[in-house]
Structure 1
């Protein structure tokens, strides 16, 4: 008997190592648009034969689960079990659960004190029914009853006030707890067979889709220095079913969910469409259109748990951009509540050319523009907030795509006045010249600089472009255009020239368009 007890005592530490759930901690998270890769660490003792991790989120992709271990620890088979959260009360260990239990314990303590005061008050109310002694003793007793009763009533009032305050704190927390329970009705446990020759760490990594990030940019234009400070920001949110506390956070522009290969093109096949057979159509009496079918509405059945609504992370905005990773400094904590948290990823100072652009045919208004070389690195498309000399101007979208340059508008320039003169047309000379019709158009613009300093003016004009050999176009610009195909776009001409302070500039465009008299020309005004 003594020998069996000795053997059992020797086996108990190994049984404990094999059966007790291990403590694990999320250490690193790589978040990309529409998902995240989570790394979790657990420490095992020398001689361990099994590692069991409980209370994991049931939302991760089981097929993506990967287990790695330090040298000297061999990893065997891995099994995953999913259970209802109601059957795992030990998993109610989030910061929200702990805060709710703390408030509930405070409420229970105050309620016990309040009930004790009720007993005192009840006793004092019944005290007068007993037989009293002398008058002196009665006066002394009455004064003691008054003081004791007053103290008991004040204590009860204070306790009730404190209970009401705790209820106000508990109500939103309990509502959030119910929401999280409905959004995450299940938890997972991972059981790993291993052979640990020495103490070390086991790392689990898995992917989940209930997380994401989106970029936000801020552009600050310094009109004096002709520089743009471009700041990177990120908004991150996760609803994975478990909080991320004290993690190392990285943000990536890669998209694991997008297509990873290119399919061969289909041949360009040409064929003759056979003529359609002649058909005879008969007029049918008109009938009232049928009533629209009722729209079916989804009704959640009892126990039908649906995923909580997540912030929208539009993966498409990241297309055509190269992947990059951003390391968020320090240790980060993100609760599993879907709330967005902002991070600053850095900034760059870019030298820019500040222009005043006018497109008079579209609008008689000048706009401030900053042109600069495209900054290095990956810049996924995202919301852009604009500041001009530290004044907020508005919002736009930063989307480079395949562009080589950065072009940012910084609002209207009301110190530059634009006047569009009425268009002149030569309608009197519509006679036939060599069986052709000729039309003449004259557009004139006056631009005035009311700034105290000179500005660089850029005016864009859409000139007519012939798409047929029988259409002839002659264009004359005064002064001569700086670019005849602005940004390699035929028909878009540009004037770019300095305009001194307090000066005016007149621009003129003359067009002569001729075409055969029997032709119908599309695009004429």
Structure 2
């Protein structure tokens, strides 16, 4: 009887420490009014009914120091406290079925282990010496009966062992999944108590660091029309153990806890340290690290996503359920399209395969920082990272490579006996063959370059460029524009000459 009351008391105590419930739960329980999710954290606003006082509990995944009341007009908070307390054995509601399954399988495994032990013991008995009172003429029949029974026991043992091994693997897999989904600090809870007077319900704000989200785009380029169709998605997860249901607001920037102005230091003019022989490679590496990385960004009619822009943040909104077991969920934030100018660009210096690109001017929608899954004419082609951009800016994006549009670049080698090079002079060049391996007519922008002088004493002379370029910019980047029929080839030939002091050595960088 004493044991019965102990179990009953433990069960009642377990029910008393259940977490705050989701909207639509028992009357008088706190309900989630709003969830604001930031990169790496979340702020949850609860609406709590009260009659002078209130009391509820949260899992230890919430920061007790961050929990505070937000009284409305006409409400007075006379006392408020949020304290951590030990709560061993707590399991979130969403994981109790999984915990029950694990316990049932563990009991089934124990039964199998008991049967296995009994079979092994029986086999051991049958392996013992013959009974002393066994008569000689009965020995053959006894041995045959023993052999038959032992064969069945051995067969039963194999079946039981296989069942046990399978059951152990199932339990291990379930336990691993349970451990991943079980919130950290599950052995702690936060008790929230307050004395309040006034009307209505009290709003309570609580922060947790066990939440995260990232913007995700899916974009498809129609290579014929240049239209980019896109959808904006929020990929979010949280590990508080409490399901967050209702209005979800996704923010791109975490509010600053400390803000300090940077100090403007003086601009000092000094002589550049002269390069020491043998350190040129290190200096070049340092220069390359300081240069900004080249990155082609992205872009995206249906209901467009509503993005609220402020001076410090961009926010989107969705409604739905975000479970508290650390699994990723997707929320559609809207769809949109934009007209872009697509192009096929070949840069054989980097790759023999061409790229398909798209550029949109003065985009109507801001772009959130995140990843984008790109496709061309419905076929997956690339995955890129997008930087944050505001509406009205220009957007360019590489949608992937075109393996059927290839260019072959070869260096022109000097002939023996010619005056190709000499002291203070260097002649160089290359040829390019580009071919359209697709089944439709395309326009290709072919890009290459000739040297750009970094010193007054270095001269760059163009000997010949065949055919003429569409554009040659101030950095000597050359662009040809070719219309290619299916299977058609075009050839390019470039020759140039460098002049420089005879006592110097030219280095290309």
- Mark yes or no: TM-score above 0.5: yes
Distance in 2 (alpha carbons) for counterparts of 1:416 and 1:406: 24
Distance in 1 (alpha carbons) for counterparts of 2:408 and 2:81: 76
Alignment-derived partner of residue 51 in structure 1 = 54
1:23 aligns with 2:22: no
1:370 aligns with 2:355: no
Q: Is the 8 A contact 2:38 2:213 kept in 1?
A: yes
How much has 1:212 moved relative to structure 2?
Answer: 0.6
Residues 100-132 of structure 1, C-alpha deviations (whole Å, 9 max, x = no match): 569989999xxxxxxxxxxxxxxxxxxxxxxxx
How much has 1:42 moved relative to structure 2?
Answer: 0.8
Alignment-derived partner of residue 443 in structure 1 = 430
TM-score (norm 1): 0.64
Q: What does residue range 106-505 of structure 1 map to in structure 2 within 5 Å?
A: 172=174, 176=178, 180=182, 183-196=185-198, 198=199, 200-240=200-240, 242-257=241-256, 260-268=259-267, 323-329=313-319, 331-335=320-324, 337-373=325-361, 375-399=363-387, 404-425=393-414, 428-429=418-419, 437-475=424-462, 476-485=464-473, 490-505=475-490
Q: Is the 8 A contact 2:420 2:427 kept in 1?
A: no
Alignment-derived partner of residue 44 in structure 2 = 38
Measured on the aligned residues, the alpha-carbon RMSD in Å equals: 3.9
Residues 148-182 of structure 1, C-alpha deviations (whole Å, 9 max, x = no match): xxxxxxxxxxxxx9xx99x9799937972797376
Q: Is the 8 A contact 1:357 1:367 kept in 2?
A: yes
- Structure 2: gaps (5+ residues): 1-26, 108-162, 273-310
Q: Is the 8 A contact 1:32 1:213 kept in 2?
A: yes
Distance in 2 (alpha carbons) for counterparts of 1:368 and 1:106: 55
Q: Is the 8 A contact 2:77 2:195 kept in 1?
A: yes
Cα gap change, 1:328/1:401 in structure 2, threshold over 3 Å: closer, same or farther? Answer: closer
Alignment-derived partner of residue 505 in structure 2 = 520
Q: Is the 8 A contact 1:30 1:36 kept in 2?
A: yes
Distance in 2 (alpha carbons) for counterparts of 1:386 and 1:181: 35
Cα gap change, 1:53/1:96 in structure 2, threshold over 3 Å: closer, same or farther? Answer: same
Cα gap change, 1:175/1:518 in structure 2, threshold over 3 Å: closer, same or farther? Answer: closer
Q: Is the 8 A contact 1:51 1:191 kept in 2?
A: yes
Cα gap change, 1:373/1:82 in structure 2, threshold over 3 Å: closer, same or farther? Answer: same
How much has 1:493 moved relative to structure 2?
Answer: 2.6
Distance in 2 (alpha carbons) for counterparts of 1:355 and 1:177: 50
Cα gap change, 1:450/1:192 in structure 2, threshold over 3 Å: closer, same or farther? Answer: same
Distance in 2 (alpha carbons) for counterparts of 1:104 and 1:324: 46
Cα gap change, 1:77/1:271 in structure 2, threshold over 3 Å: closer, same or farther? Answer: farther
Find the residue that maps to 2:424 and give its secondary structure: strand
Q: Is the 8 A contact 1:355 1:455 kept in 2?
A: no
How much has 1:35 moved relative to structure 2?
Answer: 0.8
Distance in 1 (alpha carbons) for counterparts of 2:173 and 2:353: 55
Alignment-derived partner of residue 67 in structure 2 = 65
Q: Is the 8 A contact 2:441 2:485 kept in 1?
A: yes
Distance in 1 (alpha carbons) for counterparts of 2:68 and 2:177: 35
How much has 1:355 moved relative to structure 2?
Answer: 1.7
1:95 aligns with 2:98: no
Cα gap change, 1:27/1:172 in structure 2, threshold over 3 Å: closer, same or farther? Answer: farther
How much has 1:219 moved relative to structure 2?
Answer: 1.8
Q: Is the 8 A contact 1:365 1:417 kept in 2?
A: yes
- Structure 1: gaps (5+ residues): 1-20, 109-160, 274-320
Distance in 2 (alpha carbons) for counterparts of 1:506 and 1:271: 49
Find the residue that maps to 1:325 and give its secondary structure: strand
How much has 1:410 moved relative to structure 2?
Answer: 3.3
TM-score (norm 2): 0.65
How much has 1:98 moved relative to structure 2?
Answer: 6.7
Distance in 2 (alpha carbons) for counterparts of 1:379 and 1:253: 11
How much has 1:251 moved relative to structure 2?
Answer: 0.9
Cα gap change, 1:102/1:426 in structure 2, threshold over 3 Å: closer, same or farther? Answer: closer
How much has 1:359 moved relative to structure 2?
Answer: 1.0
Find the residue that maps to 1:172 and give its secondary structure: helix
How much has 1:351 moved relative to structure 2?
Answer: 1.6
Q: Is the 8 A contact 1:253 1:322 kept in 2?
A: no
